[in-house]
Amino acid sequence: MKKSNTVHNMVFFYIPLALLVAFAVFPYLWTFLTSIKPDNELYTSTVRYFPQHPTLKNYVDLFQKSNFIKNMMNSFFVASVTAAISLFVSVLAAYAFARFNFKGKIYFIVSFLLINMFPAVLLLTPLFVIMRKTGLLYTPYSLVVAYSTFTIPFSVWLLTGYIRDLPVSLEEAAMVDGCSRIQAFLRITLPLTAPGIVATGIYIFITAWNEFVFALMFTNEATRTLPVALQTFIGQYDIQWGLLTAGGVITTIPVVVLFMMVQRKLVEGLTAGAVKG
Amino acid sequence: MKNFWSKSAPYLLIAPAILLMLLIIAYPIANSIRMSFLKYILFKPKDVEFIGFANYFNVLKDPVFRQSLVNTVLWIVGGVFFQFFFGLILALLLNRSFKGRGFIRSIILIPWVTPGVLIGLMWKWMYDGNYGVINDIFARLHIIQNYIPWLAKSQTSLLAVIITIIWQGIPFFAIMLLAGLQAIPEELYEAGKVDGATGWQTFWQITLPMLKPTILVSTLLRVIWVANSVDVIYIMTGGGPGYSSLTLSVYTYMKAQKAMDFGYASTLAIYLTLILSIAAYFYLRNLNLKEVR
Amino acid sequence: MKKSLKILSLTVLIFFVLALLAGCGSSGNSGNSSEPAKQENKNEVVNLKHWVWLDNPNDPTFSQLVKEFNDTHPNIHVDVEVIGWNDFHTKLLSSVTGGSGPDTSSFKLTWQPEFIGQDALLPLDDYLNEWAGKQDVVDNLWDVMKYSDGKHYVMPWELQVLYMYYRPSMFKAAGITEVPKTWDEFLKDAQKLTKDTNGDGKIDQYGFAMRGARGGHEPWASFVLASVPGNAFFDDNGNCTLTTPEAIKANEFFLDLYRKYKVVPPTAPADGFNEIIANFKSGKAAMVVHHIKSSNGMIEQFGDDVGAFPVPAGPNGRWTSLGDTENVIYKSTKHPKEAFAFISWLSEKEQILRWDKATGNVPVLKSLQEEDYFKNNKFMQASFESMPFAHIYPINENMGEWIESLWPAVTQQALEGKITSEEMMKKLAEGMTKK
């Protein structure tokens, strides 16, 4: 019995997991291996997996000669403020869409979707003028504002879905017990939607962390975010592969570490305890 | 008073979101719609003129538009379906408890966290037909005899970029669905166990139906995102060879940013939005929006 | 358990509200922090914003130059912003159109219509006539840089000329003693150089690294225009020469390097500059067309085992592409005089010498070309030899799209055999001349 269980586990759990994880991580490993290769090992006639003379020079250069840390702080600031504002606004709206029937509801929620469908590249120039006139241009807030316009619709939809997934009976029960609607929202709905909120927050954070088109236009050297900084390593006649790959390796780390800290919320959430309690 | 409160409550709740959107995005979108009726080349401000629906007819006559439309459908369907498929598997696997789960959950996030510029460049390098690591691995495994110039053949270029976008999007679905799985009450599984359901039956009869709203919404949003994504294709193939991997969004990008033809680009953007909304309409009929549960 | 939930959700809410308030509060502050720039004007210091792209952002030469300029010109302070090449044009054009561009920036001749069309560039003729260095600029350059309205909008800064790099050791191994002088010889040599070097039955070395993706139009024109009488895209009557039988035949020759003779890597249709250089550096290709800016990297890789010669000739002589970077002043600047002081200073002899030594550009000044440093460099020599037949692409408002998307797309279609050489040339001519 136990043995067949192990085989079963191997076939249906460990092997698919290992394959998927390998697929997800391999390009990253490749990026890392590239980043520790000295320049003259980049171009070889046969594929060489491991560098003969690994070097950390690219990382040293990255931190000493470029503004990478500053860029990272900028990205971090923009991504967290965007996530905070978008989540706050979206949770409220999503609750309304999931729990109320009101006139025009369908138009509002569909218009959110339509806004999301429109290619951002065409919104750039008018938004640029708006940012300039409001004095937000070249401040991080121009990015926060611009990102909110596409993270909010997205988050409203996602969160509406998550809230709708929760049985409404739980809230009703609380209201019967004497809670007001707001109390029921704060005590029941919000905690129970925590996994969804965390997932949406991650979505917003990553979107803002990676966004390039707006970041290119709305920042200057002082407020530049990571993707734009990475792009400066690509010259007209030369790609700084070492810096680019080292930068790429470093760029992902803060988000992954951040995620490690919140991922427990995503899964253990509060579901089990709350529903039973 | 109570009645007034409960009637206006939903409006108050959505007001911040609506206001923010209106203030920032309404004018740029309206402006774009206006440009679609103009001959509007950014650097020829003196030549701007109203031309009615001429852009709309010209787009329909444009063979590049037609090819990019076909590519867009393949790109979206192929890309999103497999993102979802593998993302769902990953979500189910990661929902089990095992040692190092938190770590694994975090590192599978990497593709999603990597900036598009880098994704494009790295995958382009890995696909390279002369010294690319993908060819090397396939050759070592004896899957291929000779190196394949993946991005230089119109038969394989679209497939190659689709695989890249699948790679990029799996974590998105994994995380969204993982969150969705948490909303399924434990009791349902316990009830299923009592009834003697197998794992497979549990999946089809409990997990999937309960996950349906999350699946529908996240797929829809991902379709929109993938439809609008430019950087991976632009960097890897530039839409080529020929127009074999050109999607509508890349075409729009090139018309706007490289040709500076904002009239034509706006029209392309409106077509893309229309096509997506029609698709969304049929799709959303599955998701009863008015329903309050 | 329940209590902790309450606390948690409350903290989350409070955090959101605070973040929201903080966001609004500090945005007000940061609005103010951009003010000092204006106030400094009272102290008579003029601030200039200069945008530039650099091939190697780690090389401190440019920022050192600017620092020196600031130190020696106490009334001017130049602020440099380095922007990646890929998006430089996009950001520049959108910012200038949106009313928030720099005072000065580096620039490409081909961008002129887009900026002059919206009246954004400052004509420099009045300043140039006063500039001491004017006579020292390489012959013909002022003609090349004259815009169609007869005015000069750009200050010459960097030059590159495309020529052929080759690997002497590979030539020797293939029994080739002399570099090819004509395209026919080039093909014969390329065929000898295309071979299986390790005996596994697969070709692993190719004669030429062809560039079929974006940017490939420059080496391509060397093949085509060498066959066209007059070596130009337009004849004296203003007709596009690309659809002439000579041009179509020469194009056929170019396409056949991939389709028929297979002397270029099978990846050619997708190869951009990064790939052709990689093909050459990894020993997959024995020849590649590029310019002086790659030479430092090549020497690093191969030492002495890399050489250079001017592109081969066709029945009507040679044509090669002139690469350029200039500096310009935008009309929106409040300080045109100081702006000119800066960009002309960059093009003075000492600065050009330092810049070209650091970056490997061909000097735009005649007096510098005589310096030993440039005379003794074989890649500089190949560049100088190529100067007499170096030209730029026509400058008109169609060329942005032509270069970025039309040329790669139709060339790739023709390489794959989906359209003929003639159809390709028709489309290219159309794209170049459409109104």
Q: What is the pLDDT of residues A165-194, one digit of tens each?
A: 777 777 788 878 877 778 888 888 888 888
Beta strands C76-82 and C104-107: pairing type?
Answer: unpaired
Nearest CB to B258 within list C213, C270, C405: C405
Domain ranges within chain A, ordered by starting residue: 57-276
Which of C24, C267, C276 to mutate to test binding with chain B, by most B CBs within 10 Å of its CB? C267
Nearest-CA distance from B236 to chain A in Å?
A: 14
- SS3 string of A152-190? HHHHHHHHHHHHHHCCHHHHHHHHHCCCCHHHHHHHHHH
Cβ contact A149–B277 (<8 Å): no
Question: Is A45's Cβ below 8 Å from some Cβ in C?
Answer: yes
Question: What pLDDT was estimated at residue C31?
Answer: 37
Residue ranges of A 130-149 with Cβ closer than 8 A to chain B: 130, 145-146, 148-149
Cβ contact B292–A101 (<8 Å): yes
Give the residue, B181 or B161, on which the prediction is more confident: B161
Q: Which of B2-6, C25-29, C374-378 has the lowest mean pLDDT?
A: C25-29
Q: pLDDT tens digit string along B74-119?
A: 999 999 999 999 999 999 998 887 888 888 888 998 999 998 888 9
Q: How far is CA B16 from CA A134, B136, C169, C213, in A?
A: 19, 54, 70, 47
Where are the strands (E) in C167-256, listed by range?
A: 206-208
What mean pLDDT is reported for chain B? 87
Nearest CB to C87 within list A216, A220, A221: A216
Task: Tell me if residue B192 falls in helix, strand or coil.
Answer: helix
CATH fold, domain C46-161+323-391, is D-Maltodextrin-Binding Protein; domain 2 (3.40.190)
- Least Cα distance to C414 among C404, C402, C426 occurs for C426
Whether the Cβ atoms of residue C407 and residue B238 lie closer than 8 Å to each other: no
Whether the Cβ atoms of residue C81 and residue C52 lie closer than 8 Å to each other: yes
Which of B13, B127, B130, B264 to mutate to test binding with chain C, by most C CBs within 10 Å of its CB? B130
Q: How far apart are CA B161 and CA B244, in angstroms?
A: 11
Nearest CB to C266 within list B149, B157, B242: B149
In degrees and rounded to multiples of 5, residue A167 shows phi and psi of -60, 130
Residue A119 is encoded by which pair of tokens? Answer: 């290619």
Question: What pLDDT was estimated at residue C11?
Answer: 42
Q: H or E element: which one contains B262? A: helix B262-284
What residues does CATH 3.40.190.10 cover in chain C? Answer: 46-161+323-391, 163-322+395-433
Question: Is C10's Cβ below 8 Å from some Cβ in A?
Answer: yes
Q: Which of A1-10, B142-151, C85-94 has the lowest mean pLDDT?
A: A1-10
Q: H or E element: which one contains C322? A: strand C320-329
Question: Is C81's Cβ below 8 Å from some Cβ in A?
Answer: yes
Nearest-CA distance from A105 to chain C in Å?
A: 25
Question: What pLDDT was estimated at residue A274?
Answer: 39
* Contacting residues of A for B229, CB less than 8 Å apart: none
Chain B nearest-CA residue for A42? B131
Question: Is A238's Cβ below 8 Å from some Cβ in C?
Answer: yes
Question: Is A185's Cβ below 8 Å from some Cβ in B?
Answer: no
For residues C237, C241, C244, C248, the Cα torsion angle rounded to the nearest 10 degrees is: 180
What mean pLDDT is reported for chain A? 84
The yes-or-no verdict on residue B63 having pLDDT over 50 is yes
DSSP string spanning A13-43? IIHHHHHHHHHHHHHHHHHHHHHTS-GGGSS
β partners of residue C365: C137
Question: What contacts C23, CB < 8 A, 6 or more positions away?
Answer: A81, A84, A85, A141, A144
Which of A237, A243, A270, A271 to mutate to test binding with chain C, by most C CBs within 10 Å of its CB? A237
The CA angle A92-A98-A102, to the nearest 5 degrees, is 90
Question: Is B217's Cβ below 8 Å from some Cβ in A?
Answer: yes
Q: pLDDT tens digit string along C200-233?
A: 888 889 999 999 998 899 999 999 999 998 888 9
Whether the Cβ atoms of residue A154 and residue A116 lie closer than 8 Å to each other: yes
Q: Collect contacts of C375-384 with beta carbons under 8 A, ≥24 apart.
A: C377/C295, C378/C307, C378/C308, C379/C163, C379/C292, C379/C295, C379/C308, C380/C292, C381/C308, C382/C161, C382/C163, C382/C164, C382/C308, C382/C309, C382/C310, C383/C160, C383/C161, C383/C163, C383/C291, C383/C292
* Contacting residues of A for B21, CB less than 8 Å apart: 112, 115, 149, 152-153
Q: How far apart are CA A82 and CA A141, in angstroms?
A: 9
Question: What pLDDT was estimated at residue A124?
Answer: 83
Q: How far apart are CA B98 and CA A130, in angstroms?
A: 51
Whether the Cβ atoms of residue A156 and residue A112 lie closer than 8 Å to each other: yes
Question: What pLDDT was estimated at residue A41?
Answer: 80
Cβ contact A87–C293 (<8 Å): no
Q: How crowded is the C-beta side of C409, counted as CA atoms within 13 Å?
A: 22
% of chain B exceeding 70 in pLDDT? 95
The yes-or-no verdict on residue C34 having pLDDT over 80 is no
Can you identify the CATH homologous superfamily of domain C163-322+395-433? Periplasmic binding protein-like II (3.40.190.10)
The gap between the terminal CA atoms of chain B, to the nearest Å, is 25
Nearest-CA distance from B155 to chain A in Å?
A: 23
Whether the Cβ atoms of residue A89 and residue B16 lie closer than 8 Å to each other: yes
**pLDDT tier for residue A273 given thresholds of 50, 70 and 90:** very low
Nearest CB to A129 within list C1, C55, C98: C98
Mean pLDDT of C105-122: 90
The yes-or-no verdict on residue A258 having pLDDT over 90 is no
Q: pLDDT tens digit string along A202-240?
A: 889 999 998 988 998 899 888 999 999 888 888 777 788
The CA angle C167-C172-C178, to the nearest 5 degrees, is 85
Is the overall model pTM greater than 0.90, yes or no?
A: no
Question: What pLDDT was estimated at residue B192?
Answer: 82
The yes-or-no verdict on residue C172 having pLDDT over 90 is yes
The yes-or-no verdict on residue A90 having pLDDT over 90 is yes
Chain A nearest-CA residue for C20? A85
Cβ contact B182–A195 (<8 Å): yes
Whether the Cβ atoms of residue A181 and residue C70 lie closer than 8 Å to each other: no
Nearest-CA distance from B2 to chain A in Å?
A: 12
Task: Tell me if residue B241 falls in helix, strand or coil.
Answer: coil
Question: Is A125's Cβ below 8 Å from some Cβ in C?
Answer: yes
Cβ contact C118–B45 (<8 Å): yes
The yes-or-no verdict on residue C39 having pLDDT over 50 is no
The yes-or-no verdict on residue C62 having pLDDT over 70 is yes
In a domain, B75, yes or no: yes
Residue with tokens 């709905």: A189
% of chain B exceeding 90 in pLDDT? 36
β partners of residue C255: none
Whether the Cβ atoms of residue B28 and residue A126 lie closer than 8 Å to each other: yes
* Contacting residues of A for B223, CB less than 8 Å apart: none
Q: pLDDT tens digit string along A119-172?
A: 888 888 888 888 888 888 899 999 999 999 889 988 998 898 888 877 777 778
Cβ count within 10 A of residue B47: 12
Task: Tell me if residue C314 falls in helix, strand or coil.
Answer: strand
Q: How far apart are CA B291 and CA B275, in angstroms?
A: 26
Give the residue, C9 or B205, on which the prediction is more confident: B205
Question: Is A268's Cβ below 8 Å from some Cβ in C?
Answer: no
Nearest CB to A20 within list B90, B115, B253: B90
In a domain, B160, yes or no: yes
Any chains having at least 3 CB pairs less than 8 A from chain B are A, C
Question: Is B196's Cβ below 8 Å from some Cβ in A?
Answer: no
Q: How far is CA C262 from the centre of its chain?
A: 28
- Least Cα distance to A29 among A203, A236, A252, A270 occurs for A252
Residue C101 is encoded by which pair of tokens? Answer: 């561009």
Question: Is A40's Cβ below 8 Å from some Cβ in C?
Answer: yes
Residue with tokens 């938004």: A127
Burial class (CB in 10 A: 0-12, 13-18, 19+), C314: buried
Nearest-CA distance from C110 to chain A in Å?
A: 15
Q: How far apart are CA C296 and CA C270, in angstroms?
A: 25
Which of A29, A125, A165, A253 to mutate to test binding with chain B, by most B CBs within 10 Å of its CB? A165
Q: How far is CA B228 from CA B12, B75, C113, C242, in A?
A: 31, 11, 30, 36
Q: How far apart are CA B233 and CA C307, in angstroms?
A: 36
* Contacting residues of A for C361, CB less than 8 Å apart: none
Length of chain A: 277
Nearest-CA distance from A88 to chain C in Å?
A: 6
Can you identify the CATH homologous superfamily of domain A57-276? MetI-like (1.10.3720.10)
In a domain, B134, yes or no: yes
The yes-or-no verdict on residue C106 having pLDDT over 70 is yes
Chain C nearest-CA residue for A216? C91
Q: pLDDT tens digit string along B189-210?
A: 888 888 887 778 888 888 888 8
**pLDDT tier for residue C18 given thresholds of 50, 70 and 90:** very low
Q: Sign of the CA dihedral B223, A142, A258, A272?
A: negative
The yes-or-no verdict on residue C17 having pLDDT over 60 is no
Structural domain range at position B129: 34-284
What mean pLDDT is reported for chain C? 85
Cβ contact B152–C115 (<8 Å): no
Cβ count within 10 A of residue C423: 14
Q: How far is CA B140 from CA A27, A159, B260, in A?
A: 18, 46, 46
Count CB pairs under 8 A between chains A and C: 135
Nearest CB to C9 within list A190, A216, A237: A190
For residues A168, A174, A178, A180, the Cα torsion angle rounded to the nearest 10 degrees is: -60
Helix, strand, coil content of chain A in percent (nearest 5)? 75, 0, 20
Task: Tell me if residue B2 falls in helix, strand or coil.
Answer: helix
Cβ contact B261–C397 (<8 Å): no
Question: What pLDDT was estimated at residue C28?
Answer: 35
Whether the Cβ atoms of residue B170 and residue B87 lie closer than 8 Å to each other: yes
* Contacting residues of C for B153, CB less than 8 Å apart: 269, 416
Question: What pLDDT was estimated at residue B288?
Answer: 60
Mean pLDDT of C341-349: 92
Mean pLDDT of B110-137: 89
Q: pLDDT tens digit string along C116-153?
A: 988 899 999 999 998 988 888 887 888 888 898 899 99
In degrees and rounded to multiples of 5, residue C163 shows phi and psi of -145, 180
Where are the strands (E) in chain B, listed by range?
A: 38-39, 49-50
Question: Is B293's Cβ below 8 Å from some Cβ in A?
Answer: yes
The yes-or-no verdict on residue C391 having pLDDT over 80 is yes
**pLDDT tier for residue B244 given thresholds of 50, 70 and 90:** very high
Question: Is B27's Cβ below 8 Å from some Cβ in A?
Answer: yes
Beta strands C104-107 and C320-329: pairing type?
Answer: antiparallel
* Contacting residues of C for B45, CB less than 8 Å apart: 117-118
The yes-or-no verdict on residue A67 having pLDDT over 90 is no
Helices marked H in C311-359: 336-346, 349-359
Chain B nearest-CA residue for C408? B242
Chain B nearest-CA residue for C114? B43
* Contacting residues of B for C115, CB less than 8 Å apart: 43
**pLDDT tier for residue C421 given thresholds of 50, 70 and 90:** very high
Question: What pLDDT was estimated at residue B194?
Answer: 84
Mean pLDDT of C279-307: 89
Which of B23, B157, B252, B258 to mutate to test binding with chain C, by most C CBs within 10 Å of its CB? B258
Cβ contact C86–A81 (<8 Å): no
Cβ count within 10 A of residue C40: 13
Any chains having at least 3 CB pairs less than 8 A from chain C are A, B
In degrees and rounded to multiples of 5, residue A86 shows phi and psi of -60, -40
Q: What is the CATH number of the domain that holds B73?
A: 1.10.3720.10
Domain count within chain B: 1
DSSP string spanning C136-167? GBPTTHHHHTB-TTS-B--EEEEEEE-EEEE-
